[in-house]
Amino acid sequence: MIEAQLQMEADDLIAKYKDEIIKEGDWWWGTDTHSFNIHSPENDGWYHVNVYKFDAEKGVDEYADWIDLPRVFIKGESK
């Protein structure tokens, strides 16, 4: 899967699970081929998006083989 496709998938996940991502602060989502980690280390609304290849035969993420997608600002609802 190319980086642009991974970015589109990450954008879709953020749109669908925004509130859960904000609540968790360090959120994971797995597919058959990749794991997405969307996290805000500084808890400032800026989220890093790391995508790891998933090795289905071993059943584990390949942490040595990942892609850093551009950071994204995720704004929660005003209260």
Instruction: Please write the tens of the pLDDT for every residue from 19-62.
Output: 999 999 999 999 999 999 999 999 999 999 999 999 988 989 99
Confidence of residue 79 (pLDDT cuts 50, 70, 90): very low
Q: Where are the domains of the chain?
A: 3-73
Residue carrying structure tokens 């360090």: 26
Structure tokens at 20: 């859960």
**Is a pLDDT exceeding 60 seen at residue 78?**
no
What b/e sequence results for 21-57 when a residue is b if at least 16 CB atoms lie within 10 Å of its CB, and e otherwise?
bbeeeebebeeeebbbbbebeeeeeebbbbbbbbeee
Distance in Å from the first CA to the final CA of the chain: 39
Residue-level pLDDT at 76: 79
**pLDDT at 14 > cutoff 60:** yes
